[in-house]
Amino acid sequence: QVQLVQSGAEVKKPGASVKVSCKASGYSITSNAIQWVRQAPGQRLEWMGWINAGNGNTKYSQKFQGRVTITRDTSASTVYMELSRLRSEDTAVYYCARGILYFDFWGQGTLVTVYS
Amino acid sequence: ETVLTQSPGTLSLSPGERATLSCRASQSFTSSYLAWYQQKPGQAPRLLMYGTSIRATGIPDRFSGSGSGTDFTLTISRLEPEDFAVYYCHQYGSSLPVTFGQGTKVEIK
């Protein structure tokens, strides 16, 4: 069965970077896209960007352009999302999800807490 | 950016009742590009519907979706205990960024 398993919770200081991983199983990662969506406490879901895991092409939300980088390691069936220059407002649960249009499978989420 | 506004914010209903959730977009887009998700506390969202009215794999037929243009609806015909959760609409593909509604919480009355 399709599964996306994310790395564990992170605590970071303002200005630092965080890199969250998303390991896929149950399907060929190169056959689909992986999206990244975050959810701050009490807020709606917010799309950050996506990667075509087949050819490595990426697209980012303008809001995060310049701060977010999504990469993949096909040999490890893993996609990574790195967010730099963290600030307190980046405290959120970060999700990876499979899909080019709608998102049919989701990771369990990774809590990233930013505080000094 | 297409802003999605869901209403009501909270729906208080009893098991067996019908739930009607609304999602209104700030601009019209192709109905093929509207999805709904269910989220329970501490869990990731789960895909319910895509293409406005197509149920995802394993979703029971008490869930149905409809709408076009700027107005979309998710209906749960008879609420089961496991249906009490937060529901989000999601537009994708018409233009970036993809966006989500703010959610409707369906709670037990």
- In the predicted model, what is the mean pLDDT of chain B? 94
Q: What is the pLDDT of residues B94-108, one digit of tens each?
A: 678 899 999 999 999
Which of B47, B99, B102 is opposite residue A103, by nearest beta carbon?
B47
A42 touches B at CB < 8 Å: no
- Chain A (44-103) residues lying within 8 Å, Cβ to Cβ, of chain B: 44-47, 59, 61-63, 95, 97, 101-103
- Chain A residues whose beta carbon lies within 8 Å of the beta carbon of residue B101: 44
Q: What is the pLDDT of residue B95?
A: 74
Average pLDDT over residues A90-103: 96
Cα A79 from Cα A95, distance rounded (Å): 12
Q: What is the pLDDT of residue B32?
A: 79
Sequence-distant (≥ 6) Cβ neighbours of residue A36 within 8 angstroms: A47, A48, A49, A50, A68, A70, A81, A94, A95, A96, A97
> B53: pLDDT confidence band, cut at 50, 70 and 90?
very high
Residues of chain B contacting A, Cβ within 8 Å? 33, 35, 37, 43-47, 50-51, 56-57, 88, 90, 92-93, 96-103
A27: three-class secondary structure by DSSP: coil
Cα B107 from Cα B102, distance rounded (Å): 16
Cα B24 from Cα A78, distance rounded (Å): 36
CB B49 within 8 A of CB B56: yes
Which of B35, B44, B93 is opposite residue A107, by nearest beta carbon?
B44
Q: What is the pLDDT of residue B93?
A: 67
A107 touches B at CB < 8 Å: yes
Q: What is the pLDDT of residue B67?
A: 93
Which of B45, B90, B101 is opposite residue A106, by nearest beta carbon?
B45
Of A4, A7, A51, A1, the C-alpha closest to A24 is: A4
